Amino acid sequence: MSKYDIIVLGSGPGGYVTAIRASQLGFKTAVIEKENLGGVCLNWGCIPTKALLKSAQVFDYLKHAEDYGLSVKGFDKDFDAVVKRSRGVADGMSKGVQFLMKKNKIDVIEGFGKLKAGKKVDVNGKEYSANHIIIATGARSRELPSLPQDGKKVIGYREAMSLKEQPKKMIVVGSGAIGVEFAYFYNSMGTEVTIVEYLPNVVPVEDEDVSKQLEKSFKKSGINIMTSSEVTKVDTSGKGVKATVKTAKGEETLEADIILSAVGIKSNIENIGLEDVGIAVDRDKILVNDYYQTNIPGYYAIGDVTPGQALAHVASAEGILCVEKIAGQHVEALDYGNIPGCTYCYPEIASVGLTEKQAKEKGYDIKVGKFPFSASGKASASGAKDGFVKVIFDAKYGEWLGCHMIGAGVTDMIAEAVLGRKLETTGHEVLKAVHPHPTMSEAVMEAVADAYGEVIHL
């Protein structure tokens, strides 16, 4: 039996990052992976979707070249080549993780791992043991009883990024990050897209102003949006697919080539031996403490299988914190109230902290500032005037309660708010920090100025 200090089950952005940090700390480390290094994020999620979205963005630029004083004739898309580029980017990233495993002297064990009592893992009939076993098996597309996926006419995100042919019509069920990103991509490529969202607003976890702006921008792009609506039945017996949609006005039947089910994720906790070991689970999630220890000593869990936000950067942060705690370092529990969320449709969405509604519900007396990109010199020059930056401060102490952005490149701007909140900065400190001109990031300073009645350019 091979013996390790730490075994990590799963090699997604939680698992492989955890393994590397463990190796850096001097632990003899192994990673068990049943498919591709990098997990869903690198192979079927975060990275290849961004490659698809970049192709869509470039295609949009070509369609609007005249807006920039340019003449481009005879251009078209090659859907198959767009998909191939995305797969190539994913393969390159996975090879990069292979390199990192070798560089950090981490053993990669290929196969399906099953936990056993006594801090052991069985992989295809061979046992491995460790002082510490970290579960990082991630999640997959969730299926609704009314929307069973067949991988052909009713698909999940995995099939959506590797279709052989571009559909003429697509229904996207769910308007979270996955739903709106694919809606933007396929609409940009020329597919007729309808979004069906159960709740009253698209991107329902976001601030209501952001939701309204995205709906406005999407409708302008030709995307049909149905909120407060539910797909109750699908019929795949014909050439395409028919969806029965329950709306406030009654039932409606939609026809399309394909339905993309983007209604959330399901944790990968089945058949990995949790019951055999006695690890506590509640409603699809492994229960852990602030340092990711389960109820059974020597077993830990991080990422999408735990109750925190199901985001790649959260899984990575949890894994690093977990192994640093194992190493005896002084670590602070992760602040889940200061986790940025990013959605990479166009316009992009980025947010951190409380929404305006949440701040009011918590009883804060708030100052709210908002600066539209239509008043930004850089945004005007870039031809990207859709969207705004919105900030929320506690009126009494100046605490930065929340920041919400929608617009071009805002996913690269949100870190200012995350860092500012981490350092407990106040509104006046942000206002007096000189921001470079002309940049999109000036909108943060201007939004803060608006909150305090000092805005210059609005």
Q: How many residues does the chain have?
A: 458
CB 222 within 8 A of CB 384: no
Count other C-beta atoms under 10 Å from residue 280's C-beta. 12
> Strand 230-235 relative to strand 265-267: parallel, antiparallel, unpaired?
unpaired
Distance (Å, whole) CA 110 – CA 34: 6
Best CA proximity match to 173, nearest among 153, 45, 435, 188: 153
Q: What is the reported pLDDT for 40?
A: 80
- Per-residue model confidence (pLDDT) at position 125: 92
- Comparing 39 with 13, the larger pLDDT belongs to 13
DSSP state, 68?
G
Strands 126-135 and 299-301: parallel
Q: Are 180 and 206 within 8 A, CB to CB?
A: no
The burial of 329, by beta-carbon neighbours within 10 Å (0-12 exposed, 13-18 middle, 19 or more buried), is given as: exposed
Q: Mean pLDDT, to the nearest integer, of 237-247?
A: 93
User: Is the pLDDT assigned to residue 45 strictly greater than 90?
Assistant: no
**Angle at Cα 74 formed by Cα 71 and Cα 77, nearest 5°?**
110
The binding site consists of 50, 113, 174-181, 197, 264, 304
176 vs 154: CA distance, rounded Å: 18
What is the per-residue burial (b if ≥16 Cβ within 10 Å, else e) of 248-258? Answer: eeeeeebebbb
pLDDT at 286: 97
Residue 133's nearest CA partner among 2, 29, 21, 269 is 29
Average pLDDT on 184-192 reads 96
Q: How many CB atoms lie within 10 A of CB 120?
A: 18
- pLDDT (mean) for 155-172: 93
User: Tokens representing 241?
Assistant: 């697919």
Taking the C-alpha atoms of residue 338 and residue 377, their distance in angstroms, rounded to an integer, is 30
Residue closest to 414 by CA, chosen among 438, 450, 443: 443
**DSSP string computed for 172-202:** EE--SHHHHHHHHHHHHHT-EEEEE-SSSSS
Mean pLDDT, the chain, integer = 95
Mean pLDDT of 25-44: 90
Encoded amino acid at 315, one letter: A
Residue 437 annotated as catalytic: yes
The kind and range of the H/E element at 415 are helix 415-422
The tokens for 10 are 């799963």
- Residue from 178, 346, 367 nearest 261 by CA: 178
What average pLDDT score do residues 396-402 get? Answer: 95
Annotated binding site for NAD(+): 174-181, 197, 264
pLDDT band per the 50, 70, 90 thresholds, residue 42: confident
Q: Are 215 and 202 in contact (CB under 8 A)?
A: yes
Rounded average pLDDT over 330-358: 97
The string of pLDDT tens digits covering residues 261-286 is 999 899 999 999 999 999 999 989 99
The dihedral built from the CA positions of residue 43, 45, 47 and 50, taken in this order, carries a sign that is positive
User: Which residue ranges are tagged as binding site for FAD?
Assistant: 50, 113, 304
Q: Which of 269, 446, 281 has its CA nearest to residue 373?
A: 446
From CA 64, how far away is CA 221, in angstroms rounded? 12
pLDDT value of position 1: 65
Percent of all residues in the chain with a pLDDT value above 90, rounded to a whole number: 90
pLDDT at 123 over 90: yes
Catalytic residue among 64, 330, 435, 437: 437
**Mean pLDDT lowest among 40-44, 125-129, 179-183, 287-291:** 40-44
The predicted pLDDT at position 41 comes to 79
Domains of the chain: 2-141+266-336 (3.50.50.60), 154-263 (3.50.50.60), 347-451 (3.30.390.30)
Shortest CA distance to 140 belongs to which of 286, 261, 21?
261
